Amino acid sequence: MFRNLTLNQKMKFVLLMDFDMEKCEECGFEGEFVREEYRDSTLVFCPDCYHLRIETCNHENNGLIKYSVGGGWRVQKICKECHTLFGNAISHAGVNVDKIQTIEKAKYDKYREDQDEKYRFRHNVLSDYHTEWRRNVARKNHQDYLKTMAWQEKREEVLKRDEYLCQACLKKRATQVHHLTYDHFGAEPLFDLISVCGECHQAITEMDQKRKSNIA
């Protein structure tokens, strides 16, 4: 079928195919993002790294709905796309209330609560997935860097500077190098690094992890 199209038709066809294609600013994925709709919000995320954005319905396509309140009718706007009630109650003046569709407010409220709960749960899950993806990337980058000649040379310079003495306990022979900060990771000045023994390095790492978890 594609062979029989004119050049202009082929170009339009390609443009339509690429309409939903996106590039992830985090991982570089190029393709269609996943979209999950929850009432008036849509979670749009990369299928590779779960980088997430939120699109909110603008309620432009709306109409009127009524529901019972205190023995009378309350008229309110409802979005025809996401079915969300919004805005203040509308005066009955100039409105034919009898012709307006009726809803059961209790059922609507239950629907809204269910949707909001699912949205919050899914948002948290996707955020956790993305955080874990970033940790894995950072871990891999860290491991790759430690294999480079640049790091090996810098590591040896620090050990020699500290005369192979652990700067944490000042007793044992230093066999490892510890980052005091990762602010300059990959281009560390030597004052960001200290020599440590394996036992002290493990203890410092565990303390750092515990401190970060308490902050989080």
Q: What percent of the chain has pLDDT over 70?
A: 90
**What is the distance between the alpha carbons of residues 131 and 167, in angstroms, rounded to a whole number?**
33
List the CATH code of the domain at 146-215. Answer: 3.40.1800
| pLDDT (tens digit per residue) in 19-50 | 468 999 999 999 999 999 999 999 999 999 99
Residue 18 has pLDDT above 50, yes or no: no
The amino acid sitting at 135 is: R
Domain boundaries, the chain: 2-56, 58-113, 146-215
pLDDT band at 2 (very low <50, low <70, confident <90, very high): very low
- What is the three-class DSSP state of 3? helix
The pLDDT of residue 83 is above 70 = yes
Q: Is the pTM higher than 0.75?
A: no
Q: Is pLDDT larger for residue 210 or for residue 46?
A: 46
Nearest partner of 41 among 116, 121, 108, 107, judged by Cα: 116
d(C-alpha 14, C-alpha 31), whole Å: 14
In which band, very low, low, confident or very high, does the pLDDT at 208 lie, cut at 50, 70 and 90?
A: confident
Cβ neighbour number for residue 67 with a 10 Å cutoff: 20
